[in-house]
Amino acid sequence: MSVQKVKACLILCVAVLLCGCGQALSEREIVRAVFFAQQQGQYSVCLLLADQNGGEDGVHYKTASARGATPAQALHLAEDTLPGQLYYGLLDLAALPPDSDWQTAQTLGTLLYDKAQPAPELSVFVLDDAAHSWAQDAANLYEDMKAVEQEYALHCGLQQLFTQADGCAMPGYHTDSGYDFYLLAKDAPARRVSGLPAQLAAVLCGQADIFFSAYHDGQALCKSEVNVTVEDTAVQLHLRDCTLQSLADADDDLQGFLCTELQHAFAALTNDAKADFFHLQFWHENLYGVGREAPAPTLVVVFEPERLHETFRLAFVFYCIVDGREI
């Protein structure tokens, strides 16, 4: 083949590639969310897409869905229902089935990585148990989950499914306020917690930094910024700008009740844990060597005063620990 023909072939190939890469975003099918469910022994997948022909009055969505014997097959069939080229660059939410275990999370997470190569902003939730109609519910599910993320300063990125070999953890969606939290150990059944324990688990996993939850049997409300510090397996939970509100007529010890519930939740989350969800074993081995068994973890709740000035803070703090003593 002559040099001229080789050059012509190369130019043609480059032109084809540029045309493909240069396709206007308005001509593509822009995927914003992927929902997975299991129905009647099959997987159901729904793609929530931006509807670019929906008009200029607000944000519009459309859906594409399909069923398959495997998640990969269902996703492929859903993609095939769309006429345009798919674009996953703006994908920022994935929802897993409500009965997900560790293996399911790994399978679906790997599928998303391989298929979509999503940005780090992609968030992961577990769906609730309700039966959803994708066409009617997908847009509301997406908006609700993004609102929960914003209200509770919550984020579980897709990469967090793979940071530990023995388990992973992620928030769960439900229609009421707040969120659930799932602890998926590799060699144990999935565990779901709700309410204040769910928010504590999210904070300990580094996926949230706000408490906004009822406690004391629904008779009190806590809203607080939260920060965690760890020394070996001693965990300090710093509550900053904490507001405790009574929802009953009684003038109860709201701080004491909150401490007690946090201690009980911490004990339940860490006793007989099937995976190092909160990285306590990891930090212990970094201090004392691989294979050294970590002692039983303890929790100290620190109430920090409200900020009187951005550069000034009172030095007094209150501690409550497992046995109720004050330091």
pLDDT of residue 119: 67
Confidence of residue 38 (pLDDT cuts 50, 70, 90): very high
Mean pLDDT of 242-259: 91
Q: What is the pLDDT of residues 124-168, one digit of tens each?
A: 999 999 989 999 999 999 999 999 999 999 999 999 999 989 999
pLDDT of residue 288: 81
Residue in 282, 261, 279 with CA at minimum distance from that of residue 270 = 279
pLDDT of residue 289: 83
Residue count of the chain: 327
Mean pLDDT of 23-47: 88
Give the 3-state DSSP-derived string for the chain, with helices as H, strands as E and coil as C: CCHHHHHHHHHHHHHHHHHHHCCCHHHCEEEEEEEEEEECCEEEEEEEEECCCCCCCCCCEEEEEEEECCHHHHHHHHHHCCCCCEECCCCCEEEECCCCCHHHHHHHHHHHHHHHCCCCCCEEEECCCCCCCHHHHHHHHHHHHHHHHHHCCECCEHHHHCCCCCEEEEEECCCCCCCEEEEEECCCCCEEECHHHHHHHHHHCCCECEEEEEECCCCEEEEEEEEEEEECCEEEEEEEEEEEEECCCCCCCHHHHHHHHHHHHHHHHHCCCCCCCCCHHHHHHHHHCCCCCCCCCEEEEEEECCCCECCECCCCCEEECCCCCCC
Task: Give the C-alpha separation, 34 to 109, whole Å.
Answer: 11
pLDDT of residue 272: 75
pLDDT of residue 52: 83
Confidence of residue 188 (pLDDT cuts 50, 70, 90): very high
User: How is the chain split into domains, by residue range?
Assistant: 27-193, 195-327
Q: Is the dihedral of CA 305, 309, 313, 314 positive or negative?
A: negative
Confidence of residue 172 (pLDDT cuts 50, 70, 90): very high
Higher-confidence residue of 9 and 30: namely: 30
Residue in 79, 143, 81, 80 with CA at minimum distance from that of residue 116 = 79
Does the pLDDT at position 26 exceed 90?
no
Q: For 299, phi and psi rounded to 5 degrees?
A: -125, 135
CA atoms within 13 A on the CB side of 62: 13
Provide long-range contacts, Cβ within 8 A and 24+ apart, for 319-325. Answer: 320/255, 320/256, 320/259, 320/263, 321/263, 322/263, 322/267, 322/298, 324/259, 324/260
Name the percent of the chain lying above pLDDT 90: 65
pLDDT of residue 124: 97
In angstroms, the Cα distances linking 116 to 65, 72, 90, 103, 308 are 16, 12, 10, 20, 47
What the block records as the tokens of 61 is 């969505």
State pTM to two decimals.
Answer: 0.84
Higher-confidence residue of 2 and 254: namely: 254
Residue in 216, 221, 261 with CA at minimum distance from that of residue 243 = 221
- pLDDT mean across residues, the chain: 85
Does the pLDDT at position 107 exceed 50?
yes
The radius of gyration of the chain from alpha carbons, rounded to an integer in Å, stands at 24
pLDDT of residue 115: 80
Higher-confidence residue of 249 and 93: namely: 93
Name the percent of the chain lying above pLDDT 70: 84
Does the pLDDT at position 63 exceed 50?
yes
| Distance in Å from the first CA to the final CA of the chain | 86
Q: What is the pLDDT of residues 285-317, one digit of tens each?
A: 888 888 788 888 999 999 998 654 344 443 444
Does the pLDDT at position 19 exceed 60?
no
Fill in the amino acid letter for 212: F
pLDDT of residue 118: 63
Does the pLDDT at position 202 exceed 70?
yes
